[in-house]
Structure 1
């Protein structure tokens, strides 16, 4: 294919530039509701056990019934390309067309719903554990979007405990994660160099903490009890709304209107930074597509224009964005809010498929691009957060990083 020839030319001319960390490519506006699933984990960050199936679904809103192709690549712990050949980590072929799709039925917004399952007839198995990227191309070899996923082997036990920060300066705002990695099946050689860890808060890779070293060894256990290095900002519970019935207002929706498609106007939210913490159950930023009186939400759930509103003084040096896993926590022009001086509110609107959605508002520095999740919502040690821990291992002389363990915990039972 043309992109393969282009990549080869780049390798010959600029061999160094290709050895860099890969980043996810976010989709164009006509591709929505990218849902990445596995049988063992909840949320939009798939962590598969080796041998388990993977499901990727998305909608194309251009009504062209386009052909899309998928490519799967293996990466090292630090998301640099691994040296493994395709045949070493895949049984079968990739760069194949996604065969399963359906057109929407009885909706104002016309779309096609695509479903990819791995393994399938062309791609029969993923053979190695580690980090992966799946990239979706159109019929013209243009990259539409890419998503990261992980495949692990269950070789070590990963104990995870969430505690309040040990730093008294931020004890009311941060949560710290302690780890214990234990195994009887692997003899760790030089664990300070061969073992690497990744801690992910609420399925958000953008704020993850990576490559912490074990502080000490106790028998067959590796112990991680850091004061500050494993601490996350606590954040706050997410706002949420549900518009499973587009003909009437629902939880979080103030009123609806019908133009070319349904319009869902949410209640105006207010800044919570500096206010006392209030418990509010949420999905930790995730979403769930659902629609009332529909047999198949894949093709019968409609799209609505969702209007967000935030009562907040204008921030001169920062932009405000709507933030959540509905777009993999991406900071993009679509989610940027504009300030309305007349009403004193930030406003934004974009299309979302019917369902239950978590969201919050974050500030982004206009010069540095630095993200501040607590500027509007605040940071609280009591906040219920989910933490996933991935353990990687590259033995002496090995050619790639194996993902040998996975653990998970929430801060519901947080302790001092």
Structure 2
């Protein structure tokens, strides 16, 4: 009897805990490939769009079933806990609608259906407020297939971003430090140490972002962030790349081609770069672009190719967990990207099914404690060209949700002391 007495309170407690859990993106099953999520810029996977602009989601289903998929949109606080807003408060129209725009592949060895969703549309007419959003895709059985985060901002503050070398002599050759100046346009930012929070994203990768930064001090209508360790990122190294827009001929980074059930492209074997001097090697900061030679519509005419990666091991790497890393799968670390040591060739190897295009990638190590070490194989250099985005959230006293009042962007190509 005493236990039954407290069951309602226990249930309420568990619900309240669940409501404060940070949401994480759901990774797709193996038959869903090339999730292209973008705003009105060519960058993929992390759309940050101005209030009123559109966002596009594209993906391929390789099972060839022409299945129906549905989408839902939810609003979140700055820390990706669910906001208290009702659907009608942040959305004009309806979600939970079928994705109607899809085409089947044309003239490809791998059969697939290409789906495209644009928001706003006839059903979801407008997203009314700024902040964090999650777009989730479901199948006919209302089972979630995958989800992706995006952000909407209002132009209420100018965000200045400067990239500097680390002040810590220990990391002066390895780290990049971000300084931020937030200038409000017209609206005063009340009690900014409590109401304003900044997020710094390196190369569109939310997994390594630095969050919940508070201003150090104010200067008139400006908020100043001049931290050292709190806003520092390891510089990493430039990404490796390949291009296979023509699967029948050798392209950039590809040493051999084979046709079996599908085309197989074998990349040149890579080596460890951490112990070598930094070399400038232009990249697109981990991103990828779908492209194919002699075709009008790469979305349905680009084929899928087995890409074979290989890495020369060093003594320190032989017992490590090594993965292929990049925006091609939203920087996910899983078994599909893990390299396996091949005793016969004495190389680390892996093969990944990817759509034709231009891809950036690098090799990373995941330590036994689960911590990602991006520089173990590639190295960390302050000279590396990285892209940084700063997203500024504001919740006024008594407000019910976190606005995004401004974004800033900077590149370390002009890094200074």
TM-score by length of 2: 0.96
Alignment size in residue pairs: 406
Give the CA deviation at 1:213: 1.2
SS in 1 for 2:213: coil
Is contact 1:313–1:345 with CA below 8 Å preserved after alignment?
A: no
Q: Secondary structure at the match of 2:353?
A: strand
- Give the SS at the match of 2:265: strand
**Distance (Å, rounded) in 1 between the aligned partners of 2:218 and 2:371:** 36
Task: Give the structure 2 partner of residue 217 of structure 1.
Answer: 218
1:320 counterpart residue number: 322
Deviations 1:27-46 (A, max 9, x none): 00000000011114633210
Q: Report which stretch shifted further, 14-23 or 70-79.
A: 14-23
Q: Give the CA deviation at 1:194.
A: 0.2
- From 340, 355, 362, the equivalent of 1:360 is 362
- Secondary structure of 1:169 counterpart: helix
Name the residue aligned to 2:182: 181
**Residue by residue, what CA displacement relative to the aligned partner does 1:75-132 show, whole Å, maximum 9, x if unpaired?**
0000000000000001000000000000000000000000000011110000010000
In 2, Cα distance between equivalents of 1:277 and 1:310: 19
* Structure 2 unmatched runs, 5+: 1-9
1:48-94 Cα distance to aligned partner (Å, 9 max, x none): 10000110000000000000000000000000000000000010000
Please tell me whether residue 369 in structure 1 is matched to residue 338 in structure 2.
Answer: no
Q: Any idea what the Cα deviations from partners look like across 1:156-201, whole Å, max 9, x if unmatched?
A: 0000000111111010000000000002311111100000000000
Mapped to 2, the partners of 1:32 and 1:136 lie a distance apart of 13
Q: Distance in 1 between matches of 2:19 and 2:306?
A: 40
CA contact (8 A) 1:313 1:344 kept: no
How far apart in 1 are the matches of 2:11 and 2:180? 40
How many angstroms apart in 2 are the aligned matches of 1:318 and 1:191?
44
Unaligned runs of 5+ in 1: 1-9
Aligned residue in 1 for 2:100? 99
Summarize deviations over 1:340-367 as a string: whole Å, max 9, x none. 12322110001100000000000001x3
| In structure 2, distance between residues paired with 1:324 and 1:313 | 22
1:72 alignment partner in structure 2: 73
Question: Secondary structure of 2:389's match?
Answer: strand
1:125-136 matches, within 5 Å, as 125-136=126-137
Distance 2:242 2:42 in 1: 23
Asked if 1 retains the 8 angstrom alpha-carbon contact of 2:272 and 2:314, the reply is: no
Pair 1:14 & 2:14 matched = yes
Paired position in structure 2 for 1:117: 118
> Aligned partners of 2:257 and 2:92: how far apart in 1?
50
Q: Does 1:309 align with 2:323?
A: no
Structure 1 residue 13: Cα displacement: 8.2
TM-score, normalised to structure 1, is 0.96
Matched residue SS, 1:229: helix
**Per the alignment, do residues 59 and 11 of structure 1 end up closer, same or farther by CA in structure 2, a change over 3 Å counting?**
farther
In 2, the alpha carbon distance for the partners of 1:393 and 1:407 equals: 15
Q: Which moved more, 1:36-45 or 1:240-249?
A: 36-45
Question: CA separation in 2, counterparts of 1:11 and 1:300?
Answer: 52
Aligned-partner Cα distance in 1 for 2:344–2:157: 58
Residue matched to 1:81: 82
Deviations 1:213-245 (A, max 9, x none): 111111110010011110000000000000000
Q: Distance in 1 between matches of 2:104 and 2:11?
A: 40
In structure 1, what is the equivalent of residue 4 of structure 2? none
Counterparts of 1:11 and 1:68, CA distance in 2? 33
Cα distance in structure 2, aligned partners of 1:339 and 1:18: 43
Give the stretch that moved more between structures: 130-139 or 317-326: 317-326
Supply the distance in 1 between the matched residues of 2:349 and 2:369 (Cα, whole angstroms).
23
Distance 1:35 1:200 in 2: 19
Aligned to 2:278: 277
Name the Cα RMSD after superposition. 1.3
Instruction: Name the structure 1 match of 2:331.
Output: 329
1:5 corresponds to which residue? none
2:162 maps to what in 1? 161
Match of 2:350 in 1: 348
Give runs of aligned pairs for residues 394-413 of structure 1, distance below 5 A.
Answer: 394-413=395-414
Q: Which residue of 2 aligns with 1:265?
A: 266
